[in-house]
Amino acid sequence: MLRTRELNERIVEIYWPHTAPFGQRVPEAPVLRQNAGGQAEFVSAIARVRAQRAPEAATSWQGRLAAPKRCEVLERTVDWKLIEMPLPRLPKMGAESVDFIYEIKWNEAIAKAVIERHVGGDSAAFDDRMYLRPGVGEYLLQLHGLLRALIRSLPRRQPRRPSGGDEEAGGHTLGHSDACAR
């Protein structure tokens, strides 16, 4: 069993480094985009907190030390986005929901007001628990080697440079992540 709060804390931790401005020498350097259709709301929220309240923080825990109240608001925002978007939609196969990885007690029709009551202390308002299906943890561990090999086999793509020059990518690359190599 996993709570959405635990998941959102990990997401903020993982995405924090990805919100560093691309090309440190350019004042208006953009943040690398997560996808072509538009930046994910939680990535934008992390980038705003980092830029406004904790620009020197290299990790999310440093950000929490620099701006604890703002990071608490950030984590509530990420929690809502997880509850609203990916968690109820990931187990869908066509129009049917198939709980093959986890089971949750809500769907995509959940109202933000319900979550706000829950965050405000009304524990009966919402059940934020995710129940992993039996064996899922073991299956994911078994997939790790396959996914790692697949990701490592992808060609490395150099990120596009900001217009105007050869600024450094600040350690960012697309198509490969050292985090996947662990």
The pLDDT value recorded for residue 173 is: 40
Q: How far apart are CA 10 and CA 117, in angstroms?
A: 23
The rounded percent of the chain whose pLDDT value lies above 90 is: 34
Report H helices in the chain: 4-15, 41-53, 60-66, 68-84, 86-89, 112-119, 136-153
On the question of pLDDT at 179 being above 60, the answer is no
The SS3 of residue 103 is strand
Angle at which helices 68-84 and 112-119 pack, to 10 degrees? 140
Question: Would you state the pLDDT for residue 148?
Answer: 82
Name residues whose C-beta falls within 8 Å of residue 90's C-beta, 6 or more positions apart in sequence. Answer: 101
d(CA 96, CA 107): 12
Question: Residue 176 pLDDT > 80, yes or no?
Answer: no
Cα–Cα distances (Å) from 118 to 40, 87, 109, 126, in that order, read: 24, 17, 16, 6
**Average pLDDT value for residue range 49-67:** 91
How does residue 105 score in pLDDT terms, banded at 50, 70 and 90? very high
Q: Which pLDDT score, from 0 to 100, does residue 99 have?
A: 83
What confidence score (pLDDT) does residue 178 get?
38
Contact in structure between 5 and 79 (CB atoms under 8 Å): yes
The whole-angstrom separation of Cα 72 and Cα 76 is: 6
